[in-house]
């Protein structure tokens, strides 16, 4: 008898809850093959980036399939108006940008959760119910148990990217239904007047403040970590959920391959 694999990878919830150190990739490239390659390379998770990426909803669904087939949990970073359809496509988790405060985080939680699913400790929820979608196995997994499974196992990561949010980090993290809080350093730096220079000491101090505040609540803190040194520094502050960017990884690998054995004067990019 065939065992049906649920589209939602329930392992991610427990890893996040346990604050298990995890290394993943933001992927804004519309390619299921790159999702598989990331899994085969040994990354713990991927974040399909539909805030800044080019994938359609149809391609996003294929990327989610690729992740599930390869055994790697996949979240989707999406804007709030895309929450319902992204969840119906079978995302294991969502990463929602630009959350400002605890009230905003609560509003996002309500959009992610089904109403009246008793296993989710009474939170009401506003997510619309449909069993014809991938998240419900196109009807094969539908019903009240499907709602409860989604409420219990879909991961919600909210992003804080302003000083308003940094100052409210502990309150945001403490909201029931928020599983992790991710500090977005680039937008944070811009909001502080440092443009893209997120290694400036003032920005790093704000990141440290936010990470420590989130960790103090017992919730998982995440941050962009472009190098092992970044990862070690943020881990020392209490972070455990680290993400690099697939285009940065690929561009560096391609540049190294293109320039190997050549003069540094070859292929200079200018604009």
In the block, tokens 């940094």 appear at: 166
Assign 94 to helix, strand or coil.
strand
Options 6, 52, 62, 81, the catalytic residue: 52
Contact 91, 80 (CB under 8 A): no
Neighbours of 2 (CB within 10 A): 4
Please state, in angstroms and rounded to a whole number, the distance separating the CA atoms of residues 162 and 240.
Answer: 21
Nearest to 108 by CA among 150, 80, 85, 131: 80
Based on the residue annotation, tell me whether 52 is a catalytic residue of this protein.
Answer: yes
54 burial (CB, 10 Å; 0-12 / 13-18 / 19+) is exposed
Please state, in angstroms and rounded to a whole number, the distance separating the CA atoms of residues 161 and 79.
Answer: 14
CA 9 to chain centre: 14
Ranges of beta strands (E only) in 153-236 are 155-160, 180-183, 220-224
Count CA within 13 A, CB hemisphere, residue 72.
Answer: 28
Contact 203, 197 (CB under 8 A): yes
Residue 34: DSSP 8-state: H
Count CA within 13 A, CB hemisphere, residue 102.
Answer: 11
Q: Give every CB contact of residue 270 below 8 A, 6+ residues apart in sequence.
A: none
Residue 246 has φ and ψ, to the nearest 5°, of -60, -35
Residues annotated as catalytic are: 52
């Amino acid at each position: 008898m065939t065992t049906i694999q649920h589209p939602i990878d329930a392992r991610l919830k427990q890893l996040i809850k346990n604050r298990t150190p995890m290394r993943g990739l933001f992927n804004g490239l519309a390619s299921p093959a790159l999702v598989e390659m990331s899994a085969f390379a040994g990354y713990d998770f991927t974040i399909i980036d539909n805030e800044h990426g080019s994938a359609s909803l149809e391609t996003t669904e294929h990327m989610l399939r690729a992740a599930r087939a390869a055994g790697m949990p996949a979240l989707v970073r999406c804007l709030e108006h895309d929450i319902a359809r992204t969840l119906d496509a079978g995302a294991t988790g969502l990463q929602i940008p630009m959350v400002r405060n605890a009230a905003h985080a609560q509003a996002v939680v309500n959009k992610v959760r089904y109403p009246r699913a008793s296993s989710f400790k009474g939170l009401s929820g506003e997510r619309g119910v449909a069993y014809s979608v991938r998240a419900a196995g196109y009807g094969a997994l539908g019903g009240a148990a499907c709602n409860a499974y989604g409420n219990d196992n879909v991961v919600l990561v909210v992003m804080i990217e302003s000083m308003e949010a940094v100052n409210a980090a502990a309150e945001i993290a403490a909201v029931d239904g928020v599983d992790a809080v991710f500090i977005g350093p680039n937008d944070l730096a811009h909001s502080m007047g440092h443009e893209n220079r997120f290694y400036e000491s003032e920005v790093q101090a704000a990141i440290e403040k936010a990470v420590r505040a989130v960790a103090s609540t017992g919730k998982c803190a995440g941050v962009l970590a472009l190098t092992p040194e970044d990862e070690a520094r943020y881990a020392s502050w209490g972070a455990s959920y680290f993400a690099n960017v697939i285009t940065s990884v690929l561009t560096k690998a391609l540049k190294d391959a293109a320039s190997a054995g050549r003069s540094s004067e070859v292929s200079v990019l200018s604009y």
